[in-house]
Chain A
Amino acid sequence: MRVIDLCEASEGTEVILATSSDEKYPPENIIDGNSATFWATTGMFPQEFIICFHRHVKIEKLTLQCYFVRSVRIDKSNAKEPVDFERWVERDLVHTEGQLQTEEFMFRDGNATHLRFVIKSAFDHFVSVHRVSIEGLNVSSLT
C-alpha cells in the first residue's frame, strides 16, 4: 500500500455536513485541493464540518489551512454512518496576521471513516477554512 492524498475527488471523499453555508463559499472548497478557495463561517461559534471518506482509511498526516481560528478539535469515527465520534486531537492556534494559518498533525492511530472538525473559538467574528489535506492509506471498503 502506498501513501496517497485521501481528499482527492477521485477517491470519493466528501464534506457531508457544515454548520455554515454561503453558496459562494461552500464546504466543498475545503477538500478541493486548492488553497485559494475556502469555506467561510457565517457567525457564532462553535462551527463544525464533517469529512466522510466512504471507506476505511489510515491517516498519517493532516494539514489544515485556515484563518482566524483560535481553537480547533478533531474527532474521528470508524462507523459506517457519521456516528460514534471520539475525541482525537485538540489544538490552540496562533494568529498569523495577513497569512494563512498552516497547522500540521501527525498520527499513528489514524484509522477512520469520518472526521469531524469543531472550530471552538476564533480571533474574529468569522473564520475561513481554505484546505484540509490528508495523507494516508486506503484500508478497505465499507462493508
Chain B
Amino acid sequence: MVKLAAKCILAGDATVGKSALAQMFRSDGAHFQKNYTLTTGVDLLVKHLAVPDTNDSVELFIFDSAGKELFSEVLEKLWEHPNLLCLVFDVTNEQSFSNCAKWLERVRAQLQGSSLPGVLVGNKTDLTGRRVVEASRAQEWAGSHGLEYFETSAKEMENFEAPFRCLAKLFHQLYRERLELFHSLV
C-alpha cells in the first residue's frame, strides 16, 4: 500500500472553466461556481484518489493557474517541478484550443528531461449549439502530443472526475515503471 503525491498543473486560457472543473472535482460535484471569479496567480486544491484495482492512492495537489498569465513570468516559479498536466480549453472557443500548444510548451519548458503525463480537457460541452472545436480534431491534437482526451461539462456535472482519475492512474503507472527500473539497476 502506498500513497503517492503529485503536483498537477491545471492550465489553459482564462474563462475556459478550469476553476469550475477543479472545484467540482474537489467537492465531488456539490459545488458549481455560477459566478465567474478571475483566478490570480495560483489556487491550490488537494484531493485524495484511490487507484482502482490496487490498495494504492494518489494525493493530487492541483495548481489551478491563472489563465490570464499565459505570457507572464509569475507562473514559472509556481510551476516548478510539475508531475502532471491537465490542460483545459472551451469547445466553443477556437482561440482557447489553439492556445493549448503555447500552454503545453510553457509547462514542458519547466521539465528538465523527465516526461510529463497529461490530459487535454474540452469543457463546456453543454453549449452544443455553440461548439466550434470538434471532438475528433481535439482528440487528434491530444494524441499527437501524448495526451489523453476528455470532454466535460462542469456545469452539467458530466464526466468531471474522469480526467483526474486518468491522471492519478498515469502517475501510479509511472511509479510502478520506475520501481522496475530501480530494481534493474543492481
A-side interface residues toward B, CB under 8 Å? 21-25, 35-36, 38, 40, 42-45, 67, 70, 95, 98-100, 121, 123-126, 128, 130
Contact status A43-B81, CB under 8 Å: no
Is B30 close to A, CB under 8 A? no
Known: A43-B171, A44-B81. A124 touches B178 (CB 8 A): yes
**Whole-angstrom CA separation of A36 from B184 in the bound complex:** 9
Is B35 close to A, CB under 8 A? no
Main secondary structure of the interface of A (DSSP, over half): loop
Contact status A43-B5, CB under 8 Å: yes
Contact status A38-B182, CB under 8 Å: yes
Residues of A within 8 A of B3 (CB): 42
CB within 8 A of B7: which of A21, A40, A44? A44
Contact status B112-A43, CB under 8 Å: no
Known: A123-B114, A125-B174, A125-B178. A43 touches B83 (CB 8 A): yes
**Whole-angstrom CA separation of A36 from B179 in the bound complex:** 12
CB within 8 A of B175: which of A42, A98, A100? A42
**Whole-angstrom CA separation of A98 from B179 in the bound complex:** 13
Residues of A within 8 A of B7 (CB): 43-44
**What is the count of residue pairs linking A and B with beta-carbon distances less than 8 angstroms?**
67
Residues of A within 8 A of B58 (CB): 43
CB within 8 A of A23: which of B1, B112, B113, B114? B1
Residues of B within 8 A of A125 (CB): 6, 83, 114, 171, 174-175, 178
Residues of B within 8 A of A42 (CB): 2-5, 175
Closest A residue to B116 using CB positions = A125
Given A42-B2, A125-B174, output 15 extra A-B contacts at Cβ < 8 Å.
Answer: A40-B175, A40-B182, A42-B5, A43-B7, A43-B58, A43-B171, A44-B81, A100-B185, A100-B186, A124-B113, A125-B6, A125-B83, A125-B178, A126-B175, A130-B186
Closest B residue to A125 using CB positions = B83
**Residues 1 to 27 of chain B near chain A (Cβ within 8 Å):** 1-7
